[in-house]
Structure 1
Amino acid sequence: MEFETKYIAPEIKLSEYNGKLFKTEVMFEHHLLVWFISGETKIIQAHTTNVFTAGDIFLIPGNQLATVINYPKNGLPHKAVAMHLTPEKLKEYYSKYKAAVRARPLQKVYRFSKHPLLESCLASLIPYFDLGRNLPPDIANIKIEEAISILRSIDQSVDGLLANFEEPGKIDLSEFMERHFMFNMPLDKFSYLTGRSLATFRRDFKKIYNTTPQKWLTEKRLQLAHYQIAQKQRKPNDVYIETGFENLSHFSFAFKKHFGYPPNAIPGQ
């Protein structure tokens, strides 16, 4: 089996992938704490790209668009423990412990690589994944609370993120789309993250760009891909994933239709 996922609870999972490459476009609905056991992951966000390998521990803020590309490495599968820090669990935690920081949360990936306390907490989960119904009562809640406490002891600024329960408010649509157009997400995700209903999103988009979101997104992605190939000397096979296309054949077809030549035949190259 190429892909296997085991759960202790809906919030805690162990995933293992043995294929050549697995790519997905996601909106991290919840904050996600990840301990990377083996393989490699590239997480591409609006203006930053993070690469994680074995031993890395990181916290990804919720309500973030990202392209995630997972690879096996050094003959080992892509394998990681992931803990979803849901609003319900966080509200339960902060009802007992006062937040130290109430500042505006930093929308960044927090790195805690090879931190002994966090690694010990997450590594201790491994034996539980094979127990099935024989799990100790409430073990998931205990482990989630332990992980939050350790995160706060390492970096108190994380309270600004974890103790913030506001829904995304209405924001500048143009600025958001210019930063996130390369993410191949449903329009309802874009509308939610800009604080709009889908109907309002479409109406506001039309006022700004005088075209449909689908047409604008395709053209922006193709322009970015052209720049990456022509100016950065990158190969089409490396570019199509990072610019929001599902597969190389669809990318090549759309590229030739838009520019009049295939991506591997850009004039002057």
Structure 2
Amino acid sequence: MKTTRQDYGNIVYSCYVQLSRQGEHFVSDHVISYQVAGDLILSDGVNDYRSEKGSIRFLKRNQLLKFTKQPPPGGEFQSLSIHLDQQTLQDFSLAYDVASEKKCSTNSLVVFDSSPQLKTYMDALMMYQKSGQLSDPRMVELKIKEAILLLLQANPELKDVLFDFNEPGKIDIEAFMSKNYHFNVNLDRFAYLTGRSLATFKRDFEKIFGKTPGKWLLQKRLQEAHYLLAEKGRMASDIYMDLGFEDLSHFSFAFKKQYGLSPSKIGGF
């Protein structure tokens, strides 16, 4: 697979020639992303979000997402992303005297399809990328500040999201894990997102579920796999990544150990 990724500090240009079937990503910083060509499908465990050519989206930090990148027929998948890290936003907050005033419940993903200012900005940013001007850190710094200002103009409520510098608070483990069990991330990531240290997460988890996180995650994923294979007629090769398994052989081994049959005896490959 031919892949091009060019990093200009907090601005990243990505290009893929072939289908990137799926992957997972922990969104650690807020991100503004422009779909230059092709389609991107994002899933937060509850909803799927499809971004087509020309779409501009804002992703909140501290969330788990699955993605599928689809190039157009005979073409390339291209995207341009601006990462708004905490230090950049704190510096902006001090320089322009702007701060979060309340807790905001904005969706994990916001689409800006009707903002001509942001569209013009993104098209200009692509011109800078093609001409090599983004290799100048001063230009990158300037364009990131401009992006933040345009974002606030397009959606003033995002002020309470961008400039909320608090870490995740303690939340309901049972509800969170029931939504996110299929994400293949380390336990310390689950702990952080539920507002706990790793030790506290493990202790609270076992009180609620009666078993260790590792055993519960494996059982939950295998139960869902059995349902998809037996009841929905899905193929093992199509579901193992969706359920948090790293590869097909690991999934097949764990499934046979649990149910006494290989996935191919229930579904197919």
Structure-1-length-normalised TM-score = 0.88
Alpha-carbon distance in structure 2 between the residues aligned to 1:101 and 1:116: 28
Measure how far apart 1:98 and its partner are. 3.0
Whether the aligned pair in 1 keeps the contact of 2:100 and 2:162 (CA below 8 Å) is: no
- Count residues in correspondence: 266
Task: Tell me whether 1:33 sits opposite 2:32 in the alignment.
Answer: yes
Whether the aligned pair in 1 keeps the contact of 2:42 and 2:67 (CA below 8 Å) is: yes
Q: Sort the Cα spacing of 1:181 and 1:75 in 2 relative to 1 into closer, same or farther, 3 A.
A: same
The residue that corresponds to 1:150 in the other structure is 150
The residue that corresponds to 1:163 in the other structure is 163
Task: Tell me whether 1:119 sits opposite 2:119 in the alignment.
Answer: yes
Measure how far apart 1:172 and its partner are. 1.8
Q: Sort the Cα spacing of 1:158 and 1:27 in 2 relative to 1 into closer, same or farther, 3 A.
A: same
CA deviation string 1:14-67 (max 9, x = no partner): 011223325322210001111011222221212112122222111111000112
Please show how residues 42-57 of structure 1 align to structure 2 within 5 Å. 42-57=41-56
- 93-102 or 246-255, which deviates more: 93-102
Alpha-carbon distance in structure 2 between the residues aligned to 1:22 and 1:97: 43
- Corresponding letter in the other structure for 2:66: T
- Corresponding letter in the other structure for 1:182: H
The residue that corresponds to 1:238 in the other structure is 238
Alpha-carbon distance in structure 1 between the residues aligned to 2:196 and 2:79: 34
Taking only the aligned residue pairs, the percentage that are identical comes to 35
RMSD: 2.3
Task: Tell me whether 1:221 sits opposite 2:218 in the alignment.
Answer: no
Measure how far apart 1:114 and its partner are. 6.1
The residue that corresponds to 1:177 in the other structure is 177
Whether the aligned pair in 2 keeps the contact of 1:42 and 1:69 (CA below 8 Å) is: yes
The residue that corresponds to 1:196 in the other structure is 196
Whether the aligned pair in 1 keeps the contact of 2:8 and 2:137 (CA below 8 Å) is: no
Q: Sort the Cα spacing of 1:100 and 1:209 in 2 relative to 1 into closer, same or farther, 3 A.
A: closer
- Corresponding letter in the other structure for 1:94: S
Alpha-carbon distance in structure 2 between the residues aligned to 1:133 and 1:146: 16
Gaps of 5+ in 1: none
The residue that corresponds to 1:24 in the other structure is 23
What's the secondary structure of 2:258's corresponding residue?
A: helix
Alpha-carbon distance in structure 1 between the residues aligned to 2:72 and 2:261: 35
Gaps of 5+ in 2: none
Structure-2-length-normalised TM-score = 0.88
